[in-house]
């Protein structure tokens, strides 16, 4: 599965989203951001 578009969803009570990216080598990165805010909340790698 490869995509740059999300399915529509209703924001939860904390107003955050998580995006997980896995590259072709299997490396994973997860980024959690507040909805409507361009500032990074947390980052794991």
Per-domain boundaries in the chain: 11-45
What pLDDT does 39 receive?
Answer: 58
Neighbour-count burial for 4-35, b at 16+ CB within 10 Å, e otherwise: eeeeeeeeeeeeeeeeeeeeeeeeeeeeebee
- Of 37 and 8, the one with more pLDDT: 8
Per-residue pLDDT tens over the stretch 23-45: 889 999 999 988 876 555 455 54
Q: What is d(CA 45, CA 35) in angstroms, rounded to the nearest whole number?
A: 21
Q: Say if CB 44 and CB 30 are below 8 A apart.
A: yes
Q: What is d(CA 20, CA 9) in angstroms, rounded to the nearest whole number?
A: 16
- Per-residue confidence band for 22, with pLDDT thresholds at 50, 70 and 90: confident
């Amino acid at each position: 599965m490869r995509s740059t578009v999300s399915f529509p969803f209703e924001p939860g009570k904390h107003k955050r989203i998580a995006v997980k990216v896995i590259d072709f080598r299997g490396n994973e990165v997860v980024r959690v951001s507040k909805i409507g805010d361009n500032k990074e909340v947390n980052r794991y790698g």
